[in-house]
Amino acid sequence: MRIVQKYLPAGKVARALWNNAPSAVLSLEARRRSRQKLQLTTGEEVGLALPHGTVLREGDLLLADDGQFIVVQAANEPVLRVTAKTAQQLARAAYHLGNRHILLEIGPDYLHLEYDPVLVDMLERMGGVSAVAVEQPFEPETGAYGGGHKHGHDETFAEDYALAQDAYKAHDHGHAHSHDQAHGAGHGHAHGHDHKHSHK
């Protein structure tokens, strides 16, 4: 079984490097668990062993121990979509939900939260506010549950990013065959020097 111990936040790696990578479709609860088995869209199972407190988001890239990428997709799940007739009414709803420490996704003209009939009743008592159950990916504000991508900005991030790029290229010789021929044996030696960083 392949093991994942590193990840890179969405947008940090050129799409061409992971365009054909398999996906892991995960609910919010699953994206908050740093130790688990994941089933990919290919049917393969991989082991996840990320630092405790990591919260994955849509588009993040998991880096397996063989250097291959896996794309995180946020699964559709039951959420409550809150809308209002005016921006002030929506802000008021957000204020009252925030006072209850609710996981909350804030959109341009809506709020998403985990479905709770008690909260539905509270929201419907507010003037001009509507609360409807929908099936959507749920991406609440990171501050509500511990920072999300905090590991993506620590002192090892630049090194991890470089390792991810090199690891993926090392397993992508088929696409880079003509490039290797043009550079000869010297190209192979360059990878050997790069890998010294992984032993820190």
pLDDT tens string for the chain (200 positions)? 999 999 999 999 999 999 999 999 999 999 999 999 999 999 999 999 999 989 999 999 999 999 999 999 999 999 999 999 999 999 999 999 989 988 999 999 999 999 999 999 999 899 899 999 999 999 998 754 444 443 333 344 444 445 544 544 444 444 444 444 444 444 444 444 444 444 44
Tell which CATH classification among 3.10.310.40, 2.60.260.20, 3.50.50.60, 2.40.40.20 matches the domain 1-74. Answer: 2.60.260.20
Instruction: Count the Cβ atoms, other than its own, within 10 Å of residue 54.
Output: 20
- Strand ordering across the sheet containing 61-64: 23-26, 69-74, 61-64, 2-8, 45-49, 35-39
Evaluate if pTM is beyond 0.85.
no
The answer to whether domain 76-139 has CATH 3.40.50.10490 is no
Between the CA of residue 85 and those of 95, 106, 123, what are the distances in Å?
16, 16, 13
